[in-house]
Each structure stands twice: as structure tokens, then as C-alpha cells.
Structure 1
Amino acid sequence: MDQDSEFTEWAAGTWQRLLRSAVLLGCTLPEAEDVAQSTLVRCYAKWTLVRRADNRTAYAARVLLNVHREARRKRSAGERPVAALPDGPAGPDEADRVVAVDAVRRALGDLTPGHREVVLLRYYLQLSEREIAEACRVPQGTVKSRLSRAIAQLGDSVELAAFRGEGDLR
């Protein structure tokens, strides 16, 4: 298999994880698509390094974090207008899903960027503490303490209280 075919196959299998990872880092869907696309472009440019990496997911995660951080520095905060408002009310299952997703996003949004990154890398991308330390370029002890503090904060989150049986979802 040539390099382009190998990269294309890897990228197709990785796209959704990169996209979801960017959303979990706090990007809107269009921003997440840009971050994921930029990550793939950078991985393609360094494909000989990526393909030799012990864990391609960890390598791509480090690139994703760098792209995300750069995008955050460049972008101003605030609300953005949309071309069209969403259609009418969703069904009950969709409404529950939207409430759950919103609660998780708000809870993750309350974390510091460093805490949010380690939670994403550990529990969504399932990287080891060593791989997270390499991706974030911090000592492994820092990863452990950030994970511990982030999990404690998420455990105390008002946004997630309904999922602990402490309230109604609505």
C-alpha cells in the first residue's frame, strides 16, 4: 500500500474521533471541523513520522491539541450569528439527548483548558497517562493531578446533578 492510500485509510477511520474530540474541547461543530481538518493536514505533512509512531492516536491527539490552542488564540470569544435558526421543537428522545449533551458540554466548559484536555485524552481517546503527558508536554504527575482535580470537579458539577439522581433533567 502506498503512503497516500495508507494515510487516506487512516484519516477516514480517525476523522470522527478528531471531530468529536474538538467538540469536547469546546469547539462548535464548524470550528471542530476546521480543527480536525487542520490536524489531518499536519499529520499528512508529517506522515512518515505519524506512521512510525507507537500510537498514531496519541500523535494525532498532540497535533489536535496544538491546532486547537492556536485556533483559540486567534479567535475572539463571543456569540456568533447563524444563517438560520433550528427547526421547530424536537421529539422527546431528541430533547433528552440535547439536554444531556448540553449538560456535559457545560460541565466540561467549567473545567480549565488543561483539565479538559486530560479528561478528553484519557476518557474519550483512552490514552495512557504517559501518552497524555507526551501529548500535553507536561510531567506524568501533572497529568495525574489534573485528572484527579477534573474528576472531582465534574463529580461536584451542578450541571451533571441530574445524572447522579439529584434532580430532574428538565
Structure 2
Amino acid sequence: MNGSRQEEFRAYVAERRPVLLRAATQLTSDRAEAEDLLQAALAKTYLAWDRIRDRGAVDGYVRRAMVNTQISWWRRQKLDVYPTEQLPDRPVADDHTDQTEMRDALSRALQRLPERQRLTVMLRYYEDMSEREIAQILGVSVGTVKSTVSRAITKLRNDEALLP
């Protein structure tokens, strides 16, 4: 790119940067990410500057570059998250008091469940038994175990004593 075109590009960026940064912020909802996104889009625009004949269309070109770049970043980020069958281990809390209070609250909430729901939750989550194993122990169907656990978990989630 020759000197006059570089100056033309610099002038464009100096003039339109605030407007383009607002558009980038709308795409990312984060000021730092928006600045990175705008910088990447301007780099792409700089490389294509000689090919852009209509200078009135430059804003559209930069916005399209921002959208395409943001989509690429989302896709790349999405590949970094993989669903698994097991939940990750919870980080160890530094404060023993918080752990004790949470255990106490959970214990009280479990005590408020009807006996069958409490038993199925204990076997499922504390003893790590499968639904089939629980069904055999209790002499009920697997579907009954599933619905009982589901109802119990719903009650526990709605239990105000567990809320911080």
C-alpha cells in the first residue's frame, strides 16, 4: 500500500473508530473483546483497502468483517467445551464453615423429603447406584425410580433452606 493510501486508511480509522467500536461492543458485550474484534476487522480491512473501490462502503465492509470474525471466535470457543457424562469435581472450599453449613442445609432438606424420595436420592447420589440397581432393591420399575428421583430433586431445588 503506498503512502497516500496508508494515510487515507489512518484518517478513516481515526474518524470512524468510535462508531465502529460501539458496533463491536454490541457484538461482544465486553469493551476489551470489542477492541480486539475491531482491531482484527481493521486488519482485514487494511489488507483489502486497495480492493475497496467505493469508500462509502468501507463501514459495511468493516462491520461484516467484525461479524464474521465474531462468529469464528464463537465457533472456536464452542469447540473448547465438550459435554461429558460426569460432572467435574467441585473446587475445594477454603472455608470449612461454608462446607459444614451446606452439608447441614442439605441434610435438613433431605429429612423433609418423603421416605421413598429420600431413599432413592440417597441410593442414587450418595451410594452412586444405577437406576436399575435401585429398582431391584426397592422392587419397583426403573421408570418409578426415575420419576421419584426427579420429583425429589425438584423439591430440593425449590427448598428455600438451601438458598444462600
User: What is the TM-score normalised by the length of structure 2?
Assistant: 0.42
Larger radius of gyration: 2
- Structure number with greater CO (CA < 8 Å, separation at least 6) is 1
